[in-house]
Amino acid sequence: MSEAQQPQASFQIEKIYVKDISLEIPNAPQVFVQQVQPQVEVQINTAASQFAEAYFEVTVSATVTARVEERTLFLAEAVQAGIFSVRNVPSGELDPLLGVACPTILFPYLRETISDLIARGGFPPVLLSPISFEALYVQRLQQRQQQQGGEGPRIEVAR
């Protein structure tokens, strides 16, 4: 097939939305009268799944926990999602598109959602630091390779 006859690759954002959101303040109202500097822990995860031909849902989730010693001040969770249409993208480029480009698009929305949620809960907003989804993607690839290279079955290819 010549270049002119090959279908052109396309990528489009169809929808960006908050899929899940939660704020827990287990020690309210006492936490609001204490002047303490909490330790804040942030966990970020991504996921992607195909739900129809050429349509993928990509999610970026954040869990933000603020603690003082053993007491939890708040636990904020949000899942920012996007629906993306992807057509005629070579299979080798699909994984990085869903694992790097889409989360990079969604992250600013997640950052705003988390910040607003925590502020509406009565706490100073937490601004999530920028994330290199490319570095996370490479790290996950390396982890998969190590897991497969360990005790798991190996596939030998004749040369």
> What domains lie within the chain, and their CATH numbers?
10-149 (3.10.420.10)
pLDDT digits over 70-110, tens only? 899 999 999 999 999 999 999 889 999 999 999 999 999 99
Q: What is the pLDDT of residue 140?
A: 85
**62-100 burial, b for 16+ CB within 10 Å, e for fewer?**
bbbbbeeeeeebbbbbbbbbbbbebeeeeeeeeebbbbb
Lowest mean pLDDT across 30-39, 87-96, 99-108, 147-156 = 147-156
Higher pLDDT, 156 or 5: 5
CA atoms within 13 A on the CB side of 62: 29
Q: What is the pLDDT of residue 152?
A: 39
| pLDDT of 158 strictly over 50 | no
| pLDDT of 2 strictly over 70 | no
Q: Model pTM?
A: 0.84
**How many helices (H) and strands (E) would you count in the chain?**
3, 4
- Burial class from Cβ neighbours inside 10 Å (0-12, 13-18, 19+) for residue 49 reads exposed
